[in-house]
Amino acid sequence: MVREVAGVAYAAVAVFFAVVSALALGRRAHNPTVAVSLAVAMLALSASSFADAVAIVATDETVAAVASLAILPGVGVAMGALVCLGRGVARPQWQPGPSLLALLLVEPVLVTAAAATNPLHLWLYDGDGAAQMTGSAGWGYGPAFVVHSVYCYAMVLGALGFLIYGWTRAPSLFRRQRLVLVVAAVIGSAANVAYLFRGLGDSVDPTPFGFAVACGFLAYALFRRDLLTLSPVARGLIVDQIGDAIVVLSPTG
């Protein structure tokens, strides 16, 4: 019964992420970098949460094993998108270039390949049943999983660094926006840390629920704090779009 309830909760969280992703995309005209980064992060977490739901309710052990492996690529994509979101918040005029986007896709592609071939090498998960794909209850963490986790936490720290920088540098009007984003990133990460280090025992993975709470904070920033429609406009962006001559005076005239 507990597993069925958890599965429904994971599925509900996946839908919540997808809805916030769609709403963020609907507002991309105001701040494309932040909106698209937020949408990609939420959509990737939605896919991971759905895989989590399948993994916990599936009666077929092979299906549950495949779903467990399918959780990881979406997390890698989401972490890269969060870094772009943080940078976009700190520097509203910034846009990621093709080379950076390609670089951010390297880890998700590699972890996808590792997940697809895990029974052959057991780099992501090892332990009872990992090679035979018979469920995930007895699995342990392999070396590639450790590398994946380090990468994700490095991305989270990078995103937090950008968000904190943007918070400290923003005018007072925008500081609550930035603070909400910082709190959201901390809550989502804390839930995953508690699970990885077995702070909650071998219970249901709380990570999607932690990110769901974080997503609630993001939704608050999106609608109550006008995250995408009200943001500092870069001086260079304004100047570049003005066709008239401009005279700038100092405070003394």
pLDDT in tens, 108-163: 999 999 999 999 999 999 988 899 998 787 888 899 999 998 998 899 889 888 88
Q: Count CA atoms within 13 Å of residue 238 on its CB side.
A: 6
- Distance between start and end Cα atoms, the chain: 74
Q: Is 202 helix (H, G, I), strand (E, B) or coil?
A: coil
Beta bridge partners of 139: 127
Produce one character per residue of 75-84: b if its CB has 16 or more CB atoms within 10 Å, e if not: bbbbbbbbbb
Share of the chain above pLDDT 70, in %: 80
Beta bridge partners of 127: 139
Q: What is the mean pLDDT of residues 219-233?
A: 60
pLDDT band at 106 (very low <50, low <70, confident <90, very high): very high
pLDDT band at 231 (very low <50, low <70, confident <90, very high): low
Hey, what amino acid is at 240?
D
Share of the chain above pLDDT 90, in %: 31
CA distance 61 to 164: 43
